[in-house]
Structure 1
Amino acid sequence: MSEIYDIANDYVERYAALNPFSATSIGVPGYDDKMADFSPQGADANADLKRRTIAALQAAAVEGERDRIAKEAMLDDLRTDLDTHDAGEHLRSLRVLGSPFQSIRMIFDLMPRDTEEHWRNIAARMALVPQGLSSYRQSLAEGMRLSSTSSRRQAEGCAQQARVWSGEGGNNGAKTFFHELIDAFDAAGVASDALRGDLAAGADAAASAYADFGRFLTDEYLHAASSQDGVGEERYALASRAFNGVELDFAETYAWGWEQLRWVESEMAKTAERILPGAGVEAAKELLETDPDRAIEGVDAFQRWMQELQDTTIAELNGTHFDIPEPVKRIEAMIAPPGGALAMYYTAPSEDFSRPGRTWYPTGGKTRFPLWGEASIAYHEGVPGHHFERGIAKYLTSELSRFQTAMGGTSGYIEGWALYAERLMAELGYLRNPDYYLGMLRAQALRSVRVIIDIGMHLGYAIPADADFHPGEAWSPELGLEFIRQRSHFPPDFVASEVDRYLGMPAQAISYKVGEREWLDARDDAKQRKGANFDLKEFHTRALNLGPMGLAQMRREMARV
């Protein structure tokens, strides 16, 4: 192992010790019973580790191309993380998705539940939920002291999540997430009354801690929270670099988002004509939503459909368009616990693949599932989207550094690949059914809308004078919600949380289309360079074997593929 790879391995081990949730996510053993420290002191300890690691990397000799790529990827990531820390973003990291507030609840989704030891870890960590929320509250309180807070919108959204997870929101008589873990323990067949008692006590403590935190948000934090939803250009540029790993021209990207939306709306009109001639897009959507022959009834039946789709896709793509390692052939389609956002998501496998990659579908209380949009989403979150990219990176432990396999990549790289995967499946004929193709186009419309309103709301851009939507007006959250309702073609319950998500995670929403553009450009460039010798499977293999990275580095490295 080279010096660079030794440094990467050491960093992952030390980072896991400081961040038990990351240890669980990665699959580093020994930390599943511990709680993360979200206090200012915890953040400072992480920053110190990054500084020491940067210094070690800068002093280390590069022994080959693998070393060079690994070093550049790691330095880019750590430097951006440090810039984000030094800007104090951890002191106002409160948002409806992707903040410590959700991580403390969601980490239990990743914990194994098979043996008595597993359940002891769950009980121990659940008992520490009050400690985790307390440390997080210290950071938010320091942000309040410095007048550096999240927005009222994000605080209100998190307060509502607290009501669900604590049971104080009524939950229509349902148990809290933490108390449902006791039922899961009973079903696991582990015989221990004492352990069951520990789980019950932990569930009570965790639910109570979320209730207390919700009161802190409504009684204290809301009064100090910012009235501004947008973050402005300086914070947006830093966030964009963190999520994309490249410096962007936001005015150009904003204009390009409008171009992409016009293209996809034209394609949707053509596709709707194939589904319901002469009726238009809205009528075609209504048919797809209401036709009983185009839907699945029941959550269990829908989960089976999702699992079968993933398994079939793996079997058909392997050896033709991808070389799929054996451990990556396993994926689980899951139903997400209630209370979070309604967007489907993916969790990567552990380092040893004992925990497989999983897709998570939030039903939002639905029991009927029209299928026209589900295939494309499944390809994005599962196969050949996130599961292939994340899974193959995990598998390449003999070639990539441990940092690359366990922690590497930006949202632009990762989400860009997943959006590329949706379009790829259309190119390969998997969306020849116009119902499913319209579903893919709807996803493209949403991602194009995200580019427009994310940049527009955060940077205060004006709507173009020639637009057919409030021309010349400045973007606002209200206009953003109206626009996404009109132009994304997603249902109202889904888009209701989208604007809150964008405003809480500046620049993450643009990473899908920005990253997809890089993947498509890289493929087009390879086709042009190789001509008749271009091979799609070889392109995918060589590209993914480079390992995850930021988009600027990806552009440089892919020019060699």
Structure 2
Amino acid sequence: MADTTSHQPRPSHRPDHDGTDRVDRKTPRALADAYLDAYGELDPIAATHYGTRPGDHRLPDLSPAGQEAVAALQRATLTRLAELERDTAPAADPADAEATAERRCARLLRERLTAALAVHDAGEGLRRLGNLGSPLHRIRDVFTLMPTDTPEDWSVVAARMRHVPGALDGYRASLAEGLARDLPAGPRQVATVVDQLGEWLGETGGDGRDWFTALVDAGPPRPRDDLTAAAGRAAAAVADLRDWLRDRYAPAVAGAPDVVGADRYALWARQHTGADLDLAEAYAWGWEEFHRIAAEMCAEADRVLPGAGTPATLHHLRTSGTAIDGVPAVRAWLQRLTEEAIDALDGVHFDLAAPLHRVETLIAPPGTAAAPYYASPPLDFSRPGRIYLPTMGLQRFPIWDLVSTWYHEGVPGHHLQLAQWVLVADRLSRYQVTVGMVSANVEGWALYAERLMDELGFLTDPERRLGYLDAQMLRALRVILDIGMHLALPIPAGSGFHEGERWTPALAREFFGRHCGLPPDYLDSELVRYLGLPGQAIGYKLGERAWLRGRERARRAHGAAFDLRAWHMAALSSGSLGLDDLEDELAAR
């Protein structure tokens, strides 16, 4: 890998009055970056995440009008892309690297904006409520990404907190409009979010402080008064929204289904995977993977507790397996695990530039979903990649399932891919490595990364390998249950479970408990997540399948000359791709 000390992000541009940018838009990549800058003006949370508008203290307009402004930008960008492609002669040499880069970016931009508009036009933004990834969660999470090194940084934090009440008012207006248009969120989502907001407000657990006050209490004496006042107003706005959700919204949606049905599911599956999926094929393949992994887990469980069987062995690992005691200790242990993986992989299976060596393990704030998650560095690498562990109030942390999870979230998983995208942003476009991200591409790589670590011999310990297989089982179950619940599909013969009946959330939770070794509260959180993010959970396993197929095709094409390390770096430097394109692009690497 070339020296990266000279790497600099492209400058951010100010959008003009019609929501597009006054930069050279003669290529799809330039148009995509113009879109990113204009989008960052409308969604300052995204701008903070990607570092395109440092110091911006605003929050997005989450009202119906704000959502329509984003949609108008997307429509205008699609129109300009069509004009650009109509007026541009085809490349004389299809193998030209620049032409290929422009073609790939144009296809991604068109697909992403078209998918987003389909979701918007169906009114889905008027019922976006869930325990993970909702606009509500984005409002709080952005504060964990903001710099807090100087009093000036804290002044920006205070300024943004003052915008929380207005942002939540806009969000409430969208949910109310959804009710008026008979577009309700699912009752389970509402109940879960109401409970989460109680945690944010310090009403359950902790020291009684709300989350915003606890955050600013770590700030400097100046501007303490501004910070305290802003935190108080933010917490009061959260309390008002919680009360409205509990007292007004929840009764109004009490009879609504928790599942979305086939039409809505197809919209969201396209959004999360970048593909028009054959859902029947995916559902059947999910069952094939389930049976394959179950057999492998049985054999591995026998190495841990001979003759006990898989369920008893998983229970043993949860209660009596190797564990780390204490939150500070588990955070330090996971940080070392990540650093050890970097040292072992760099120069052997990957070529990691210096910025990719910076990654932090942090404890997630209370009131989040149960699953660990990753936040990528901004375009200027001013903040490292960060992996967050929700502790769920625990003090003892079995490591059997944490190791594979940390490979997924950190190295060689999310961190290597997303930080590498940031590194090569100038060779692609900033759009391709930020808001153009396709979830199934990213989650597929991270699941492939878990498998890679098993292939490379990092999971020979039977406890840790059973944890890896349990994680694989979780992702296979997601394909079955996510598609099965939302489409109310029949449970097939040979499953040994309510054969011939149609999936319901209650049956899904029962099946989960039988075949996944995670704790009950984690599984409860997972089920609510799938109901609130239809089509997202299937992207892990289907994305991994595309990565594995692409690797195998590349291996066959190159024969003995195939270089896994070179293939990894080329694949990780390609930017975002939907599953419709990913396998073919990987095969050509």
What residue number does 1:308 align with?
A: 336
Q: Identity, % of aligned pairs?
A: 45
What residue number does 1:28 align with?
A: 52
Per the TM alignment, residue 120 of structure 1 is displaced from its structure 2 partner at its CA by 0.7
Stretch of structure 1 that moved more, 526-535 or 424-433? 526-535
For residues 425 and 576 of structure 2, the distance between their equivalents in structure 1, rounded to whole angstroms, comes to 13
Per the TM alignment, residue 396 of structure 1 is displaced from its structure 2 partner at its CA by 0.1
What residue number does 2:115 align with?
A: 80
Q: 1:262 aligns with which of 286, 291, 294?
A: 291
Per the TM alignment, residue 41 of structure 1 is displaced from its structure 2 partner at its CA by 0.8
After superposition, residues 10-29 of structure 1 pair within 5 angstroms as 10-29=34-53
Per the TM alignment, residue 461 of structure 1 is displaced from its structure 2 partner at its CA by 0.6
After superposition, residues 41-440 of structure 1 pair within 5 angstroms as 41-60=65-84, 61=88, 64-167=99-202, 169-171=203-205, 173-185=207-219, 190-192=220-222, 195-225=223-253, 227-291=256-320, 294-440=322-468
Per the TM alignment, residue 31 of structure 1 is displaced from its structure 2 partner at its CA by 5.0
Per the TM alignment, residue 433 of structure 1 is displaced from its structure 2 partner at its CA by 1.0
For residues 396 and 275 of structure 1, the distance between their equivalents in structure 2, rounded to whole angstroms, comes to 43
CA RMSD of aligned residues (A): 1.4
1:4-44 deviations in whole A, cap 9, x for unaligned?
22212211111111101001101123453111110111111
Count of equivalent residues: 553
Whether the aligned pair in 1 keeps the contact of 2:475 and 2:541 (CA below 8 Å) is yes
Stretch of structure 1 that moved more, 278-287 or 223-232? 278-287
Q: What amino acid does structure 1 have at the position aligned with 2:298?
A: A
What residue number does 1:4 align with?
A: 28
Q: What amino acid does structure 1 have at the position aligned with 2:357?
A: K
Q: What amino acid does structure 2 have at the position aligned with 1:48?
A: A
1:464-484 deviations in whole A, cap 9, x for unaligned?
132211111111111111111
Q: 2:500 aligns with which of 454, 472, 477?
A: 472
What residue number does 2:563 align with?
A: 535
Whether the aligned pair in 2 keeps the contact of 1:147 and 1:224 (CA below 8 Å) is no
Whether the aligned pair in 1 keeps the contact of 2:473 and 2:516 (CA below 8 Å) is yes
For residues 220 and 31 of structure 1, the distance between their equivalents in structure 2, rounded to whole angstroms, comes to 36
Secondary structure of 1:278's match?
Answer: coil
Q: 1:514 aligns with which of 515, 526, 542?
A: 542
Whether the aligned pair in 2 keeps the contact of 1:20 and 1:31 (CA below 8 Å) is no
Whether the aligned pair in 2 keeps the contact of 1:23 and 1:31 (CA below 8 Å) is no
Per the TM alignment, residue 386 of structure 1 is displaced from its structure 2 partner at its CA by 0.4
Q: What amino acid does structure 2 have at the position aligned with 1:22?
A: A
Provide the TM-score with structure 1 as the length reference: 0.96
Q: What amino acid does structure 2 have at the position aligned with 1:32?
A: D
Per the TM alignment, residue 174 of structure 1 is displaced from its structure 2 partner at its CA by 3.3
1:41-71 deviations in whole A, cap 9, x for unaligned?
1111111111111122222237611111111
What residue number does 2:13 align with?
A: none
Gaps of 5+ in 2: 1-23, 92-97
Stretch of structure 1 that moved more, 227-236 or 465-474? 465-474
Whether the aligned pair in 2 keeps the contact of 1:456 and 1:475 (CA below 8 Å) is yes
Per the TM alignment, residue 463 of structure 1 is displaced from its structure 2 partner at its CA by 0.8
For residues 312 and 533 of structure 2, the distance between their equivalents in structure 1, rounded to whole angstroms, comes to 34
Q: What amino acid does structure 2 have at the position aligned with 1:155?
A: V
1:334-364 deviations in whole A, cap 9, x for unaligned?
1001111110000110110111110000000
For residues 406 and 455 of structure 1, the distance between their equivalents in structure 2, rounded to whole angstroms, comes to 28
For residues 93 and 479 of structure 1, the distance between their equivalents in structure 2, rounded to whole angstroms, comes to 25
Q: 1:39 aligns with which of 58, 63, 66?
A: 63
Q: What amino acid does structure 2 have at the position aligned with 1:331?
A: V
For residues 31 and 254 of structure 1, the distance between their equivalents in structure 2, rounded to whole angstroms, comes to 46
Secondary structure of 1:352's match?
Answer: coil
Secondary structure of 1:398's match?
Answer: coil
Whether the aligned pair in 2 keeps the contact of 1:393 and 1:545 (CA below 8 Å) is yes
1:103-149 deviations in whole A, cap 9, x for unaligned?
11111111111111210111111121111100001111111111111
Q: What amino acid does structure 2 have at the position aligned with 1:180?
A: A
For residues 423 and 556 of structure 1, the distance between their equivalents in structure 2, rounded to whole angstroms, comes to 21
1:248-307 deviations in whole A, cap 9, x for unaligned?
111111111111111111111111111222222233324433447x11111111100111
